[in-house]
Amino acid sequence: MTAGFIQDELQALRSASLFRRLRSVAGDQGPTLMVDGREVLNFSSNNYLGLANHPALGKAATAAIERYGCGSGASRLISGNMTLHEELEIKLAELKGTEAALVFNSGFQANTGIIPTLVDDGDVVFSDSLNHASIIDGCRLSRAQIVVYRHCDLDQLEHGLKHAPRSSRKLIVTESLFSMDGDEAPLKEIVELSEKYDAMTMVDEAHATGVYEPDGAGFVSQLRLGDRVLVQMGTLGKALGGFGAYVAGSAALRELLINRCRSFIFTTALPPVVMAMAIAAVELINSEPERRRALRNNCARVRDGLASLGFSLGDSRSQILPLLIGNASECMHLSERLLDRGVFAQGIRPPTVPPGTSRLRITLMATHTSAQIDRALEVFASLDKAIERNDSVLR
Ligand code: PLP
């Protein structure tokens, strides 16, 4: 059998400046990282609150391994449903203010499983054009008709809802805080449309969980929309510093997922150590609100600093700051130049973002110090001259 297509594919990716390689990262996931053997400032992590390297998570992990061993041994529906899974689910439901919660092995698995559980052939799913790949794949797997509406465009969403067959089940799915643009969905208006047209709403809070005031529950909760959104999902791998994901909603939704959701049913349960870390993380979300404040202050400092250098950051008001470059090759070149100067700000290219919108995705942590931020801004200022020719997209 010939596999010549592999080399052809790789060559095509290289020619389009879309070839990716894994960077080797050593040390823990703090504000500084060892990347490819060099210490750099880390502005490319989703460890927004600094919990991935918090000693409380390490302590909880060690204790859980001693008490429960390493593996869960089976899927949740066989013998893998350990007490720690249920303890975490109770804590997550409390945090989210919902009747119930269910842990998934990852956000990707959650999205690809939940959507096909809710809609099927003959139904319609409405998906924001900038939704994450896992949502896109979930929509595709569902076999429902997919209506992609322009990013946050309520008129287009309403037009689609109005024209969907009356008898079909309808599902609107959106991120609350968009992963690559750092902007927010108009959730209140989306929920109002869902009620007007009798549609279900599913919100991906992957980047909002842990971060939003007043209590870290997320954007849905901040807007007090919890009772009007059918599905809230989020991950445990970003602000919560560990791994895995959750769905929060009604007890009936939880039961339906346990019975029908293939990516929940047909996989080995997460190890107890991962649950213990997440329990510790949820406790820290409650007990250390100053981390959210520190993150917010750091965001303001970097946003203001970059704005005063003349950089445009789109509609982001969050810890995700997209510095739009446009061209993929130019974007990766800039990312490498930053890295050479000690700042890790990953270039993001298609297919993660739409063609022509490659960007440096700068992400902040509560644990960045003022000195680290000032140093990064100095490096960005030194790049300024080099990217002036991209004037139109940068400013
Ligand atoms: N949803 C969004 C919006 C994401 O950015 C991610 C990122 O990884 C996921 C889902 C997948 O979550 P996980 O990393 O837990 O698989």
Pick from 174, 151, 172: nearest CA to 160: 172
Say which residues have a Cβ less than 8 Å from residue 338's Cβ, sequence separation at least 6: 344, 345, 360, 379, 380, 383
**Is the bond preceding residue 355 a cis peptide, omega within 30 degrees?**
no
Owning domain of residue 341: 19-48+289-394
308 given a catalytic annotation: no
Q: pLDDT-based confidence at 1, cuts 50/70/90?
A: low
- Please tell me the residue having the least CA distance from ligand 1 atom 15: 107
- Within-domain flag for 3: no
CATH number of the domain residue 308 falls in: 3.90.1150.10
Query: What does the mean pLDDT of the chain come to?
Result: 95
pLDDT attached to residue 387: 58
Structure tokens at 279: 């329990």
Q: What is the mean pLDDT of residues 111-117?
A: 98
- Within-domain flag for 191: yes
Q: How many A from CA of 239 to the centre of ligand 1?
A: 12
Per-residue pLDDT of 308-323, as tens digits, reads: 998 888 889 999 999 9
Alpha-helical runs (H) found in 131-271: 133-142, 154-163, 187-196, 219-222, 251-260, 262-265
- Within-domain flag for 168: yes
Q: Which of 287, 303, 327 is the last residue of a domain?
A: 287
Q: Which of 243, 258, 287 is the last residue of a domain?
A: 287
Say which residues have a Cβ less than 8 Å from residue 389's Cβ, sequence separation at least 6: none
Same domain, 41 and 105: no
Same domain, 232 and 143: yes
If one counts the domains in the chain, the total is 2
Same domain, 34 and 112: no
Q: pLDDT-based confidence at 389, cuts 50/70/90?
A: very low
Q: How many A from CA of 353 to the centre of ligand 1?
A: 14
- Give ligand 1 pocket residues (Cβ under 6 A): 106-108, 111, 132, 134, 175, 179, 204, 206, 235, 237, 245
- Within-domain flag for 11: no
CATH number of the domain residue 187 falls in: 3.40.640.10
- Within-domain flag for 9: no
CA dihedral 35, 131, 312, 367 (to 10 degrees): -40
Per-residue pLDDT for 121 more than 70?
Answer: yes
Per-residue pLDDT for 165 more than 60?
Answer: yes
- Within-domain flag for 199: yes
Q: The tokens 């502005």 sit on which residue?
A: 43
Same domain, 196 and 295: no
Q: Which of 254, 287, 320 is the last residue of a domain?
A: 287
Per-residue pLDDT for 11 more than 90?
Answer: yes
- pTM summary value: 0.95
368 given a catalytic annotation: no
Number of helices followed by number of strands (H, E) in the chain: 15, 14
